[in-house]
Structure 1
Amino acid sequence: MDAANREEQPAREKESAELIDAFLRASRLLVALSARSLDESSSPVTFAQFRALLVISRGTANNQTQLADELGVAPSSVTRMVDRLEGVGFVERARAGSGTRGLSLAVTERGQAIVDEVSERRRGLIADVVGKMDTHHVGALVEALDNFAEAGEEPPVGRVGSAEPRFEDVEAVIETP
């Protein structure tokens, strides 16, 4: 390592530590907003149950094995969770196809209503915070968060019933009185 790189390394480490601290602070806020959106829901679901409903509704997990993988939990935990969600009418299990032993998962209309309600509430809570930001920081934040989510392989999230929101949507939130 040459002298220039040795001198740059402490600066990069400090910048990286500051970035991680900023993400941790922002993630605490996002978790609080997520919890609040669930607490105010018309139907009580846990954070884990909501995450499962969300994953099933976007089609990235079509069976319990895929759901367990997506959530990073044991298959037995998913079985119990799906049992509960099915019991309250939020999820349906169906034969995956003729001659197969597997079951596919689908969110029911009632389950989708919870996903939509909580997602819209969360969107509103985040919009309230974004509305308090200086407008000149918003574009850079959108770009940085999109880059971070892509690096973490998180699929894009669209507004319920619409295309993926972009910077113009965020600008509209900020300009709304």
Structure 2
Amino acid sequence: MTSEAAELLEIVWGRASTSPVSASQLRVLFILEHNEGINLRSLADALGSTPPSTSRLCDRLQAVGYVERRPSATSRRELRLFLSPRGSSFLRELRSRREAALESVLAQMPASQRTALLRGLESFCAAAAAQFHDDGAMDARTA
């Protein structure tokens, strides 16, 4: 059931196109949104990728105007990555399209089932947040 739900979400969200960015580039935008000024190595670590691959992702995102690179205040050799105003606008519009697509599906469900889904999603979010927090604490201890 989990994989079927994930696939259906992909189909629903597919209607809310992420063009002109790929799924990997979209992950970069989400990370930058929550980690303003992250450096390339930290971004690569967050993606589970290499700095050269991550740099190429950022090159493409910078070319479409979604990412800005700025020199670090502490090191002239280091660049910091930021979501540009255009990138922020893209994410807002994408979320709006995705929300509309989900609302269309939810409107077809009986109210009692929507309530049950809400309770389940609240529990899911709490469990996922706890797991991510625990994983982050584990990473900090092993670093």
Aligned to 1:92: 68
Alignment: residue pair count: 131
Deviations 1:99-122 (A, max 9, x none): 353221111111111111111101
The Cα offsets for residues 64-94 of structure 1, whole Å up to 9 and x where unpaired, read as: 2232233333332211100111122110011
Alignment-derived partner of residue 46 in structure 1: 22
**Deviation for aligned residue 1:132:** 1.0
2:106 is equivalent to residue 127 of structure 1: no
Distance 1:128 1:61, change over 3 A: farther
Change (3 A) 1:142 1:96: farther
Could you tell me which runs of 5 or more consecutive residues in structure 1 were left unpaired when the two chains were aligned.
1-21, 156-177
Aligned pair partner of 2:44 in 60, 68, 82: 68
Q: Distance between the aligned counterparts of 1:64 and 1:112, measured in 2?
A: 19
Q: 1:76 to 1:34 in 2, by over 3 A?
A: farther
1:160-171 alignment to 2 at 5 Å? Answer: none
Which of the pair has the greater relative contact order for Cα pairs under 8 Å at 6+ separation? 2
> For the residues of structure 2 that align with 1:140 and 1:60, how far apart are their CA atoms?
36
Give the aligned CA root-mean-square deviation in angstroms.
Answer: 2.3
Aligned residue in 2 for 1:113? 89
| TM-fit CA distance, 1:51 | 2.1
| Rg larger for | 1
Q: Which contiguous aligned blocks of 4+ residues in structure 1 show a shift greater than 4 angstroms? A: none
Q: Aligned letter for 1:137?
A: Q
SS of residue in 2 equivalent to 1:38: coil
Give percent identity, aligned residues only: 32
Q: TM-score scaled to structure 1, two decimals? A: 0.64
Normalised by the length of structure 2, the TM-score is: 0.78
Distance 1:31 1:140 in 2: 22
CA distance in 2, matches of 1:33, 1:51: 18
